[in-house]
Amino acid sequence: MKLETKAVHAGDRKRTPENRGSFVPVNTPIFASSSFLYESAAKLDKVLGAEEEGFSYARYENPSRRALEDLLTALEGGAGAFACCSGMMAVHMALLAALTDRPKAILAASALYGASVKMLTGVFEPLGVEVDFVDICDLGAVRDKLAARRYACVLMESISNPLLRVGEMDKIAGAARENGAVLVVDNTFATPLLLRPLEHGASLSVHSLTKFLSGHGDVLGGAIVSDAEHLPVLTALSRTCGPALGPFESYLTMRGIKTFPLRMERQCANACRVAAWLQQNPGVERVHYCGDPEHPDARAIRRLLPANLHGALVSFEIRGAGKEDILRFMDSLKLIVSGTSLGDVHSLMLYPAIASHRDLAPRQRERLGIRENLLRLSVGIEAIEDILEDLDQALASLELRP
């Protein structure tokens, strides 16, 4: 079954012994209940003991969330999934699962979402977990780091935030496995339409459901799709820590996913047009886009991503612009929304220096290539002519500097 079909059908219309012979809702409804009853305490005992399939307490399982998790498992090709309250919680839970019964050390990509870096240095390190960073696009450096010491896991993004770098995921997964580590991938930017990390050797694939999968700016959520090895520990951690996604958010996310492939295809096509237009604009110094033939990771992109699907993100640097110029540019936008997210149906402009990477020191941002004149655009599904017209008038409002 193709991914586009799975997005519409997976997770819904389950028939169970309890509803056999009765009606089955076309879409999984919202089960707004914290606990579930059975015809006997003996039956509840078996459900709680995992001797029989069923639902007992919403921190453990909820039918709305289970349907979403089944859908995510189908999309990513995993053994199971856990939907939780935010993308950052998904990163946290995935790392905890990877660290269980392994050395308390993480090798992380130096190019990561700012909050992920903050979690590594501000949460895991104070708890005694050693964290090292590496240029994930330098395969030799990754291999050298893995050979030099024992790590529990490697953490990377399928497409990095915000400079859109792409590491050789399959080769990194192999190197990690050879050295006793596992690969954890934040797949938010690529989505399962472009790339499915578990097919390339990753053990845990993380998503911010807030972004492309729900797609409408009305959900805060996250998810981890797991291989068979890590699913039991992930399930145990989720039940103990209790960060489960609620039934309302599960329903909204599942509804959004039904149209996600269509939206993502349109967004990828629009992003390609935007990148080409920006590259020809004299007010733009540099464009970062995975579809660029001159992209520094072009070889990995050709191997890992489908032809003509290069993601919906375009980052670009405005020539000669400082912080005040960038803020004025954002205020000049009339259609594109200046917000702190991405992946919505509407186009969203973000300034990494004050948002996604605000917590990093200016020198650290500079070392990572996140300059003061850099903007990140999440391209929506609007008419491309309207998106380009808005960018054009906003850039024209600035006095270009040589």
Residues with catalytic roles: 59, 113, 186, 211
Helix (H, G, I), strand (E, B) or coil at 76: helix
Sheet holding 153-157, edge to edge: 80-84, 222-226, 204-208, 182-186, 153-157, 105-109, 130-134
Task: List alpha helices for 207-322, DSSP H.
Answer: 231-241, 247-257, 260-279, 298-304
Give which of 257, 256, 255 is closest to 25, Cα–Cα. 255
CB 314 within 8 A of CB 163: no
Structure-block tokens of residue 140: 């030799």
14: which DSSP letter? -
Distance CA 153, CA 108 (A): 8
Helix then strand then coil, in percent of the chain rounded to 5, is 40, 15, 45
Supply the angle between the helices 231-241 and 87-99 in degrees, to the nearest 10. Answer: 120
In terms of Cβ atoms closer than 10 Å to its own Cβ (0-12, 13-18, 19+), residue 25 is exposed
Alpha carbon distance 312, 381 (integer Å): 10
Length of the chain (residues): 402
**C-alpha distances in angstroms, 28 versus 65, 201, 283?**
10, 32, 49
- How far does Cα 98 stand from its chain's mean position? 18
Bridging pattern class, strands 374-378 and 313-318: antiparallel
Q: In what order do the strands lie in the sheet with 313-318?
A: 284-288, 313-318, 374-378, 348-350, 337-338
The β-bridge partners of 204 are: 184, 226
Q: In Å, how far from its chain's centre is CA 148? A: 29
Compute the distance between CA of residue 214 and CA of residue 57 in angstroms, rounded to an integer: 25
Rounded Cα gap, residues 310 and 161, in angstroms: 14
